[in-house]
């Protein structure tokens, strides 16, 4: 899975144009979101095939700023504070979380500054979390 950081015009229809370009290319969005930050449209979306998504967007004149590997983590929905515990583990492991959102399968998606460290923290946290009732 790949996260694409996408710049969009801050105007009606910009997100629709992005969706149309992806649909025309047969590329499915697996999760993500879009926001206005300092007057600019900024989106982060998750794709099974980042290269196909990038090609579809760029051929439509939509700027892809960055393609990133992600850490995928399932949270326990019935446990309060689970998000805090995971993000604390990342911080304690020296990992900066740059982007966080959910995919369509209710999993947490993290774009981080150090993917290798984050994967190690995530694996350790998953094993520790599985042992805790």
Provide the pLDDT for residue 22: 98
Provide the pLDDT for residue 75: 83
Provide the pLDDT for residue 132: 60
Provide the pLDDT for residue 133: 55
Provide the pLDDT for residue 125: 86
Q: Which domains does the chain have, with CATH numbers?
A: 2-69 (3.30.2130.10), 71-131 (3.30.70)
DSSP state of 130: H
Provide the pLDDT for residue 51: 97
Query: Which residues of the chain are under the pLDDT cut of 50?
Result: none
Provide the pLDDT for residue 61: 97
At 118-130, the pLDDT tens digits run 999 999 988 887 7
């Amino acid at each position: 899975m790949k996260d694409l950081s996408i710049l969009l015009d801050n105007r009606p229809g910009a997100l629709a144009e992005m969706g149309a370009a992806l649909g025309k290319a047969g590329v499915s969005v697996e999760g993500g979101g879009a926001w206005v930050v300092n007057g600019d449209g900024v989106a982060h979306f998750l794709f099974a095939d980042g290269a196909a998504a990038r090609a579809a967007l760029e051929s439509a004149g939509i700027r892809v700023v960055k393609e990133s590997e992600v850490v995928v983590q399932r949270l326990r929905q019935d446990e309060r504070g689970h998000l805090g515990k995971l993000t604390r583990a990342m911080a304690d492991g020296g990992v900066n979380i740059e982007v966080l959102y959910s995919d369509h399968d209710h999993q947490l998606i993290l774009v981080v500054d150090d993917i290798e460290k984050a994967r190690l923290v995530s694996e350790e946290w998953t094993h520790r979390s599985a042992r805790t009732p």
